[in-house]
């Protein structure tokens, strides 16, 4: 009897098999182990497509889904066999038996025998499905198998005549999150929100960015998250104006803002939270003015989402609120509509307001369908993250604004009746932040 987690992955494989053509086969190798330096490997994390269908997190594996007119459907995992001596060095393996009993595959075969079995599996199939972006992983293997089948044509063998990319089908499946997936993401977001709170509590003038990063990492691991969803951004002062700042090695002086963009993952599912706060616990008037514009944009964008609403609407809302705010502060001059149309805000707000979120922090799924912005649908999870960044060397603005960078990012789930903010555990009202840091 499979546990509930394995059942979810089994159901996904069955769902995908239903979309596949008769007499077809899907071949999806796992990502290879990456070398950091010398004999040191990066911590292994399977690519998201492979994990989405398998739930299997060991390297040296390949997923095969077969849809046969005579024998129905079958899921096969090629993986490493149990090997006591190697397991003593590298850790336990599921092995062939575990792949069936623990992960719900119909059959498991040694990964070392993939080249031997592939021609037989492909024989008689009309369609071969792959993810074209990852086809190079199995290019030699597939070409060799196809060549063998063509050479055996006079003996009745036949190779697939159609090779299709199944990426778009999988992207559409991954875009709509199941209750199981939402549960994993909520857990990751709760841990990440607690990490942001702990970083705020730990902040004090003269602390180093990496010390706050350590607070994040400690809370992630204490909460049961073995991996960050992405490299944490801990940006003090002027560094907050660098969108993907990851050096995290500078001292944060008194009076500076700290922008932290960080999240962990649970069972592969990501969280993605950004909060900005003063290292000394008190916003200056200028920091507060910029912060309030970004917060208003964040809240207005969230309130604009609903089932049936277009993807671009929250972003357009943030553009309007931010442009209005920058006019009010005198940072932009001119008429609102003209400034929006000319993108005059872009020196200060140069990114979109959000992205899909799931197994990848920038998750898969088209933002436009047939040339139109996609309608929001229950089960979609995405970020809303407006920001204002005023470069420290921007001579076009008054000196008091320079070097202020603010971003506020929440994770939002579309529901049947509206939306749910999944990151409420991380405070974003100025008063709440100052109270937490007092």
Same domain for 280 and 375, yes or no, is yes
Buried b (16+ CB within 10 A) or exposed e, 42-59: eeeebbbbbbbbbbbebb
Describe the crossing of helices 430-437 and 179-202 by its angle, rounded to 10 degrees: 60
pLDDT digits (tens, 9 = 90+) for 207-223: 999 999 999 999 999 99
Which CATH number characterizes residue 331's domain? 3.90.230.10
Does the pLDDT at position 69 exceed 90?
A: no
The predicted structure's pLDDT at residue 70: 75
| Arithmetic mean of pLDDT, 291-319 | 98
Instruction: Report the alpha-carbon distance of residue 76 to residue 98 in Å, rounded.
Output: 13
Same domain for 165 and 189, yes or no, is no
Tell me which residue of 295, 215, 289, 294 sits closest to 252, measured CA to CA: 215
Residue 362: band (very low, low, confident or very high) from pLDDT cuts 50, 70, 90: very high
Q: Counting beta carbons within 10 angstroms of the beta carbon of residue 349, is it exposed (0 to 12), middle (13 to 18) or buried (19 or more)?
A: buried
Same domain for 156 and 287, yes or no, is no
Structure token digits, residue 176: 């709509």
Average pLDDT, whole number, for the chain? 97
pLDDT digits (tens, 9 = 90+) for 370-424: 999 999 999 999 999 999 999 999 999 999 999 999 999 999 999 999 999 999 9
In the 8-state DSSP scheme, what is residue 127?
E
Same domain for 192 and 108, yes or no, is no
Which CATH number characterizes residue 153's domain? 3.40.350.10
Same domain for 234 and 353, yes or no, is yes
Structure token digits, residue 127: 């369609």
pTM: 0.96
In the 8-state DSSP scheme, what is residue 297?
H
The predicted structure's pLDDT at residue 420: 98
- Number of domains making up the chain: 2
Same domain for 281 and 391, yes or no, is yes
Domain boundary among 114, 147, 174: 174
Percent of the chain past pLDDT 90, that is, above it, reads: 98
Instruction: Report the alpha-carbon distance of residue 175 to residue 261 in Å, rounded.
Output: 23
Same domain for 132 and 228, yes or no, is no
The predicted structure's pLDDT at residue 2: 84
CA–CA–CA angle 353, 358, 363 (5° rounding): 60
CB atoms within 10 A of CB 11: 13
**Count, residues in the chain:** 438
Task: Tell me if 412 sits within 8 A of 419, measured CB to CB.
Answer: yes
In the block, residue with structure tokens 């190079």: 136
Same domain for 102 and 193, yes or no, is no
Same domain for 146 and 193, yes or no, is no
Same domain for 183 and 166, yes or no, is no
Does the pLDDT at position 71 exceed 90?
A: no
Describe the crossing of helices 139-151 and 114-122 by its angle, rounded to 10 degrees: 50
The predicted structure's pLDDT at residue 157: 93
Q: Domain of residue 63: give its range.
A: 4-174
């Amino acid at each position: 009897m499979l546990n509930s987690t394995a059942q979810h992955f089994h159901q996904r494989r069955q769902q995908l098999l239903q979309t596949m053509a008769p007499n077809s086969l899907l071949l999806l190798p796992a990502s290879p182990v990456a070398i950091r330096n010398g004999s040191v490997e990066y911590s292994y994390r399977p690519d998201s497509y492979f994990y989405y269908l398998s739930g299997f997190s060991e390297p040296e594996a390949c997923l095969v889904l077969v849809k046969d007119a005579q024998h129905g459907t079958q899921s096969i995992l090629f993986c490493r066999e149990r090997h006591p001596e190697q397991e003593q060095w590298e850790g336990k393996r599921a092995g062939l038996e575990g792949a069936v009993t623990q992960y719900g595959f119909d059959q498991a075969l040694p990964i070392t025998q993939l080249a031997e079995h592939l021609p037989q599996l492909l024989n008689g199939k009309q369609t071969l499905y792959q993810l074209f972006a990852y086809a190079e992983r199995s290019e030699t293997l597939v070409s060799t198998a196809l060549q063998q089948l063509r050479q055996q044509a006079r003996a009745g063998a036949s190779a697939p005549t159609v090779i299709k990319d199944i990426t778009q089908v999988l992207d559409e499946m991954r875009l709509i999150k199941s209750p199981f997936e939402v549960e994993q993401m909520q857990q990751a977001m709760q841990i990440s929100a607690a990490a942001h709170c702990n970083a705020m509590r730990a902040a004090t003038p003269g602390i180093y960015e990496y010390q706050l990063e350590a607070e994040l990492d400690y809370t992630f691991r204490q909460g049961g998250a073995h991996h960050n969803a992405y490299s944490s951004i801990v940006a003090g002062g002027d560094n907050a104006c660098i969108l993907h700042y990851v050096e995290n090695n500078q001292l944060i002086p008194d009076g500076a803002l700290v922008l932290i963009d960080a999240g962990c993952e649970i069972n592969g599912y990501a969280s993605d939270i950004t909060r900005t706060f003063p290292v000394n616990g008190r916003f200056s008037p200028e920091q507060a003015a910029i912060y309030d514009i970004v917060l208003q944009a964040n809240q207005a964008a969230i309130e604009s989402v609903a089932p049936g609403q277009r993807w671009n609407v929250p972003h357009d809302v943030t553009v309007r609120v931010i442009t209005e705010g920058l006019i009010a502060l005198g940072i932009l001059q001119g008429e609102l509509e003209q400034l929006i149309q000319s993108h005059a805000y872009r020196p200060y707000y140069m990114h979109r307001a959000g992205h899909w979120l799931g197994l990848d922090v920038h998750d898969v799924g088209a933002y436009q369908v047939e040339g139109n912005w996609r309608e929001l649908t229950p089960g979609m999870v995405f970020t809303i993250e407006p920001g204002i960044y005023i470069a420290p060397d921007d001579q076009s603005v008054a000196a008091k604004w320079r070097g202020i960078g603010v971003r506020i990012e929440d994770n939002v789930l579309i529901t049947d009746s509206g939306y749910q903010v999944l990151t409420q555990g991380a405070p974003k009202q100025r008063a709440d932040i100052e109270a937490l840091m007092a």
